[in-house]
Amino acid sequence: MAKARRQTRQLEVVWDAIKDETSHPTADRVYEKVREVVPKISLGTVYRNLQKLVAEGRLQVLTLGRTQHFDPLVRSHHHFICRSCQTVYDISVDSKDYVLPFTVPEQGFTVNSHELTLYGTCKNCST
């Protein structure tokens, strides 16, 4: 049987806080934002709900350094990270002509997904 999914105010508020974010916030950042609506929410609950959303495929996780960033844009896309200001930009893959034919090390390997990250300098930091 499927696990009971429970509709709580906290989960709803966490989702509302991130669903339209394009800034790839950290859990802590989401916590601050959510606190404005539900001041008594705990950081642990924010983490638990973010995990839940990730498990459901409603969020994607991007690890930068040691910190997780959450990203509601789930359709296939890549990231551009500015080495100067650390800002993460989404790169949508409209022109899929850019997804490449992969060659895997040996026979017997199956590729299910991939992640492409570009590093460089963004517009703002190019001075």
Binding residues (CB under 8 A) for a copy of itself: these are 63, 65-66, 80, 83, 89-91, 95, 98-123, 126
Which of a copy of itself, DNA, none lies near 103, with the C-beta cut-off 5 to 8 A by kind?
Answer: a copy of itself
Among 37, 43, 62, 122, binds DNA (CB under 7 A): 43
**Binding residues for DNA, how many (CB under 7 A)?**
26
**Residue-level length of the chain:** 127
Nearer to a copy of itself, 8 or 92 (CB): 92
Residue 15 Cβ vs a copy of itself, minimum distance, rounded to whole Å = 24
Q: Return d(Cα 10, Cα 2) in angstroms, integer.
A: 22
Which of a copy of itself, DNA, none lies near 32, with the C-beta cut-off 5 to 8 A by kind?
Answer: none
Residue 106 Cβ vs a copy of itself, minimum distance, rounded to whole Å = 6
Contact call for residues 34 and 42 (beta carbons, < 8 A): no
Residue type for 124, please?
N
- Please give the residue ranges that form the binding site for DNA (CB under 7 A): 3-11, 26-28, 38, 40-45, 47-49, 51, 66-68
